[in-house]
Structure formats: C-alpha cells, structure tokens
Amino acid sequence: MFDPASKDMKVVHIGFDDTDSQRGRCTTNLAYKITCKLKNEMDSIFIDYPLLVRLNPNIPWKTRGNGAVCLRVKSDQPEQIIEYLLDTVRRESDLSNGANPGVAIFAGEDIPLALRQFSSRAMYDVIDIKETENLASQLSIQTFKFGEGLGIIGAVASIGSLLECDHTYEAIAYRKEQFCGSPREIDRSKVLKINTDTHPFTFNSYDSIHDRVLVTPHGPDPVFCGIRGEDPFTVIRALEYILPIERLEGYMVFRTNQGTNMHLQNDLSIKKLRTHNSGYIRCFVTKRPTIIRGGHVFFEVSNFNNNKYQVAVYEPTGLGKLASKLIEGDHIDIGISVSKGNSNGSNVLNVEYLTILNIVDEVTNINPLCNKCRKRMKSEGKNKGFQCKICGDKSDSKVVVTNSRDLQSGTYLPSLKAHRHLTKPLHRFGMEKTYPYLPKIFKPLNSEWLKSF
C-alpha cells in the first residue's frame, strides 16, 4: 500500500537539459510527459512545481531560450524513476539533430550551498563540463550524458536553482503530435481580454504596440501556447479561458525565473568582463553615441576603475533613439550581455536595459548677443573679442549657455519583441517576490497544476 508518510519515501531532485534541437522537440514537453508518468503511474509526490530555469542567455550553443528543467519529488522507488527517466530521455531527445542531453539526479532534503552557488554562476557565466562533473562527483550528484552530454551543465544548475525569492509561473499547453507543424488557431479577442483582465498578474501575452499575440510560438514544436504570470491560479484560469478548439495533449504549470532579470543581478562594474557574461554595470558615458546604418547606436563608457568599454544598442531593442541622446559625463546603469566585437576582437556590451541615473548639463559657448540689436555679435579674430555688425558694440568673450536635454532619468526596457525570456517587464519592478519559497515545508500544489485531456 502506498504511504506518502512512509520512511521509505526519498526526496529526489531530477534535472535535465539539451534534449531538443533547432529542428524540433522541446525540453518542457518532455518534462510534461515525464511528470505525467511520475505522478500518475509511479506514485511520486511533487514537493515543488516543475521548475523551468532559464540560464545564462548568452551561451552560444543554446538552442533557443537556454531553459533547463528540474523536478523535485518524493518517492519510494527512486531506482525505477531513474531507469524510466534515462530510457525516456534517450528515446525522446533529438540526438540525431544535435541535441546533447544531460540528466542529473540528487537525493536528499537539502540542496548544498556549493550547488546553489554553481547555479547562481550558471545564470551569468560560462561553465565548463569538467567543472560540472567535478562538482557532481564531490556532491554525489549522479550525472548521465547522451551525445556530447553538454546538457549536464544545465541539468545540474537547474537542481541548484531554488528560485527562493522572485519567481513567476508559466502554464504551458501542449499539442497532440498529429497537429504539430500546422498553424495554431487562437482566438485573439480572448487573448486581448485576458491581457487586460488579468494585468498585472499575467504578462507578455500581447504586444499592443506591434499588435502581436505573444502566447503562441511559431515553430513546429509541440507547445501550443503559454501564459506567464505571478501565481499558478491566475495562469491556469487564463490558459483555460483561451484554450482552442484543437484537441490538446494537456498542460502543466512551471515555476520559473522568467520575467525576473535573474541573469542581470551580477555586478560587473569592477570585475574583469568575459565574453558571454551577463550582468550590469554602473558607468559614465565617455564618448558620445554614434549611429550607424541600420539604426544601431554605439558609445563608450568607463567604470569606476577607469576601464573603457564599447556599448552597443541594437536597433531591434527600440532603445537607440534614447541612447543617442546621451553625452559625456552621464551616469548610467546598464543590463548587459558581453559579446566579442567584430573589428578588433575586444568585448562589446550589448544593452538589455538602460537606467539613466544622472544627466549632466550640456553647455556650449556661443557668441554674445548684442543688447541693443538682439543679434549675435561676430568674432573679430582669435583673442580679439566680438563686435555687433549693426551698432558696433563690443564684447570680450563668448557666453556659456546650458542646453535643455530631452532626456529623463529612469529605467528603459527594450520593446517587447526584443525581450528575452528573463527580461523583467517594467510593471514587475516593485512586484518582485521577496519572501523565501520553501519547498521543504509541504505545501500542496494547486490541484490543477497538471492536466491531460
């Protein structure tokens, strides 16, 4: 007889990643299938929602959004779970098209500090597979590699990601295999309605500026749509409201770090920047922006150590016009991803958000105004002063004027279409969850978090 309170029940943390390829499949869909099996057929008790952890978005070998999945369960048959899991990942991954899956298993109630620190770094740094394997063996984390097995990096990192404070939820609905590849028919008026009615408790469902529905992807993958928001109840209700006529496989709620800017918490102001890092720096503008063809804007900044960096604001972010108004001395805070510049190989900081902290006065020296004629005086030659050509009045020096600056302090985000999964929408600033999420304290999950149709 199955007894959830039995001493034989073990807490098992399961991470997996890199099961899909550019051509198809989807790690979250695999997570849905595995979760259905574990919950419905293997008596596993989920002690947390399945986690969809978005890791450093600047990893060059990622497929799309660098998402890894972690399932945390209590079970009295961990060996059978592992056997099923490995068999399923092997069968259901897109190995022939370049997926390099990795699975990580950790048994125990508490997640060790070293593992949590590893996961924090995976949010902003590039981690080596050897380092991952070393840590795994030190902490008795079992890892399993398929193909080149790069997925163990994300798999291990997902287990160490507790998403203790700020986090969000996404309810993702999956298509039946026979419909994958066909257009997704969705009632846009319903999407507009949930976008209005559930604001600010759902986000990124609709882009009103470009009149685009955002809940459905466009590729051949099995995701029909996803609703992102602040709590499981709201995302489930909103998802059920927009469900299509097409018969779906089911849906599942993930707890995620999407919409939290978690990759940008790392202060790179005084650190040595490495290509593919994510983070933020506080700096001063040292060279005015130039705009190149295509509307991309480049300028130079300097941090407190007087290191100089080239900053790029690319056109699709929609921040170019604003950035082009910066001048030397402006104090800014920028969320960045570090990439290799083309011309001389030095790093370029690609802007993910721009906060203007302080704007300096812009002063120019201009020829003095004639008090009688109200006309600008003309220069009489170098160091010879100025004279009014109408009345002959003279003046010794230019006058200093302060130009008005068409720029306000504040935080500016890229347009919605340029958002990453991790980008925190403007309205979430101030809405962050600051209380710890404690999966150890048994808290039942919303009863409808997993549904098969």
Cα distance between residue 352 and residue 413, in whole Å: 7
Q: Which of 55, 159, 213, 422 binds ligand ATP (CB under 6 A)?
A: 55
**3-class state of residue 331 by DSSP:** strand
Per-residue tokens: 216: 């459905």
Secondary structure letter of residue 190 according to DSSP: H
User: Considering the rule CB under 6 A, would residue 62 count as an interface residue with ligand ATP?
Assistant: yes
Dmax (CA) of the chain: 108
**3-class state of residue 411 by DSSP:** strand
Q: Choose between 195 and 258: whose C-beta lies nearer to ligand ATP.
A: 258
How many residues lie near ligand ATP (CB under 6 A)?
24
Beta carbon of residue 72, minimum distance to ligand ATP (angstroms, whole number) = 19
User: Considering the rule CB under 6 A, would residue 93 count as an interface residue with ligand ATP?
Assistant: no
Q: Choose between 154 and 318: whose C-beta lies nearer to ligand ATP.
A: 154
Part in contact with ligand ATP (CB under 6 A); list of ranges 58-66, 291-299, 301-309, 374-382: 58-66
Task: Give the N- to C-terminal CA distance of the chain in Å, as an integer.
Answer: 28
Contacts of residue 419, defined as CB under 8 A and 6 or more positions apart, other chains included, come to 204, 413, 425
User: Considering the rule CB under 6 A, would residue 65 count as an interface residue with ligand ATP?
Assistant: yes
Beta carbon of residue 341, minimum distance to ligand ATP (angstroms, whole number) = 21
Q: Choose between 37 and 62: whose C-beta lies nearer to ligand ATP.
A: 62
Per-position x/- string for 104-143, each x denoting binding to ligand ATP as judged by CB under 6 A, each - no binding: ------------------x--xxx----------------
CB atoms within 10 A of CB 216: 18
Q: Which of 11, 135, 150, 370 binds ligand ATP (CB under 6 A)?
A: 150
User: Considering the rule CB under 6 A, would residue 100 count as an interface residue with ligand ATP?
Assistant: yes
Q: Choose between 17 and 330: whose C-beta lies nearer to ligand ATP.
A: 17
DSSP 350-376: EEEEEEEEE---EEEEEPPBPTTT-SB
User: Considering the rule CB under 6 A, would residue 63 count as an interface residue with ligand ATP?
Assistant: yes
Beta carbon of residue 2, minimum distance to ligand ATP (angstroms, whole number) = 33
User: Considering the rule CB under 6 A, would residue 48 count as an interface residue with ligand ATP?
Assistant: no
Residue written as token pair 């700020």:
166
Cα distance between residue 145 and residue 222, in whole Å: 24
In sequence order, what are the beta bridge partners of 338? 349
User: Considering the rule CB under 6 A, would residue 350 count as an interface residue with ligand ATP?
Assistant: no
Cα distance between residue 278 and residue 276, in whole Å: 7
User: Considering the rule CB under 6 A, would residue 154 count as an interface residue with ligand ATP?
Assistant: yes
Part in contact with ligand ATP (CB under 6 A); list of ranges 149-157, 203-211, 336-344, 364-372: 149-157
Per-residue tokens: 229: 């928001």
Contacts of residue 320, defined as CB under 8 A and 6 or more positions apart, other chains included, come to 291, 295, 296, 297, 313, 314
Write down the H helix ranges in 111-251: 113-122, 129-138, 151-160, 188-197, 232-242
User: Considering the rule CB under 6 A, would residue 229 count as an interface residue with ligand ATP?
Assistant: no
H or E, element range at 79: helix 78-92
Q: Which of 16, 17, 239, 249 binds ligand ATP (CB under 6 A)?
A: 17
Beta carbon of residue 447, minimum distance to ligand ATP (angstroms, whole number) = 27
**3-class state of residue 56 by DSSP:** coil
User: Considering the rule CB under 6 A, would residue 18 count as an interface residue with ligand ATP?
Assistant: yes
CB atoms within 10 A of CB 218: 7
User: Considering the rule CB under 6 A, would residue 67 count as an interface residue with ligand ATP?
Assistant: yes
User: Considering the rule CB under 6 A, would residue 92 count as an interface residue with ligand ATP?
Assistant: no
In sequence order, what are the beta bridge partners of 356? 332, 410
Q: Choose between 56 and 234: whose C-beta lies nearer to ligand ATP.
A: 56
φ, ψ of residue 417 to 5 degrees: the values are: -70, -15
Q: Which of 51, 53, 59, 349 binds ligand ATP (CB under 6 A)?
A: 59
Q: Choose between 22 and 80: whose C-beta lies nearer to ligand ATP.
A: 22
User: Considering the rule CB under 6 A, would residue 151 count as an interface residue with ligand ATP?
Assistant: yes
User: Considering the rule CB under 6 A, would residue 180 count as an interface residue with ligand ATP?
Assistant: no
Q: Which of 11, 12, 14, 27 binds ligand ATP (CB under 6 A)?
A: 27
Position 170, amino acid: E
Which residues lie near ligand ATP (CB under 6 A)?
17-18, 20, 27, 55-56, 59, 61-67, 100, 102, 122, 125-127, 150-151, 153-154
